[in-house]
Amino acid sequence: MPQPLISTRALNKIYRTQTGEDVVALRDVSLDIAPGAFVTVVGPSGCGKSTLLKILAGILARSSGEVSLAGRPIDGPSRNVGVVFQAPVLLPWRNVLQNVLLPIDIQRLKRADHEGRARALLKLVGLAGFENKYPSELSGGMQQRVGITRALVHDPDLLLMDEPFGALDAMTRESMNLELLRIWEESRKTVMLVTHSIPEAVFLADKVVVMSPRPGRISEIIDVDLPRPRDLGMMVTPRFGAHVAAIRAHFQSLGALDA
Ligand SMILES: Nc1ncnc2c1ncn2[C@@H]1O[C@H](COP(=O)(O)OP(=O)(O)OP(=O)(O)O)[C@@H](O)[C@H]1O
């Protein structure tokens, strides 16, 4: 592998609850992610997926271990990382373009230097012509696309996504998966996406990181050898089904049937 974009070694996270108990959320997580890879993370509820993403985003401190981005230790939020959460949290009084440019305004950079890229990205995600609309005028899928555009406006190398399509209906979710693959193929970002859906994890990824129930460890990393570009028809192929079945069987053997 070339120098990994993300590298973690013996990463641990222990939360102290308000009643003074320790919760081990991540134990001994060691992971390398190559530049340009699409990695998904699946695991039962509470296994530490969001915790891992937050540490990589630099918004949560680790308890011990090492974590680096492009060879540099992560010790705070980086402009080289874009983050998308389950709810896009758009500001209702800003139009689409203004929402996308929010990170630019917050950092007091010149809007004029970034507006062209923001408009080009909106076109890439299928929102050309919606620049002047307000969030309340958009569907859930469109709002999430604005969130993705906002995360990409800085041209980060890494896109972290925490259940980005969890709140969408099944059909919109499928079309967003296709859209995301197209954006990834055109922009060549490294993507790490957390999901509860095993089929979604397989459909999107080069590698699926399978986590065990709390305390979250990496149980397995599965290479997905399905060809690209992918389409929804692939989800009914035996190879796709075999990957999904293998991950399900893994969770069943751990007694984590809800994943
Ligand atoms: N601030 C906190 N204080 C104490 N415990 C926490 C805190 N945040 C998370 N935890 C605990 O750490 C564990 C991992 O949480 P995390 O949100 O990372 O899991 P997750 O895999 O993303 O879950 P889900 O799939 O349900 O979103 C859980 O047991 C959770 O209760």
Q: Are residues 68 and 194 in the same domain?
A: yes
* pLDDT level of residue 102 (50, 70, 90 thresholds): very high
Whether residue 195 contacts residue 180, with contact meaning beta carbons closer than 8 Å, is answered with no
Residue 259 has pLDDT above 50, yes or no: no
* pLDDT level of residue 257 (50, 70, 90 thresholds): low
Number of structural domains (the chain) is 2
How far does residue 256's CA lie from ligand 1's centre (Å)? 16
Q: Are residues 108 and 26 in the same domain?
A: no
Q: Are residues 128 and 9 in the same domain?
A: no
Q: Best substitution site from 14, 45, 50 to test ligand 1's pocket, by max atoms within 8 Å of Cβ?
A: 50
SS3 170: helix
- Please tell me the residue having the least CA distance from ligand 1 atom 26: 45
Atom of ligand 1 nearest to the CA of 216: 14
Answer with the one of 120, 139, 155 that is the final residue of a domain: 155
pTM score, whole prediction = 0.93
CA distance 149 to 142: 10
Range of the domain at 54: 1-80+158-259
Atom of ligand 1 nearest to the CA of 163: 27
User: Which pLDDT score is estimated for 21?
Assistant: 94
Mean pLDDT on 90-103: 96
Q: Best substitution site from 47, 59, 85 to test ligand 1's pocket, by max atoms within 8 Å of Cβ?
A: 47
Contacts of 31 (CB under 8 A, 6+ apart): 6, 7, 8, 11, 209, 218, 221
Q: Are residues 95 and 52 in the same domain?
A: no
Q: Are residues 120 and 234 in the same domain?
A: no
Give the pLDDT confidence of 126-153 residue by residue, as tens digits. Answer: 899 999 999 999 998 899 999 999 998 9
SS3 147: helix
Q: Are residues 57 and 173 in the same domain?
A: yes
Q: Are residues 163 and 259 in the same domain?
A: yes
211 inside domain:
yes
Q: Are residues 62 and 166 in the same domain?
A: yes
Mean pLDDT on 102-107: 89
Q: Indicate if ligand 1 lies below 6 Å from the C-beta of 27.
A: no
Give the pLDDT confidence of 153-165 residue by residue, as tens digits. Answer: 988 999 999 999 8
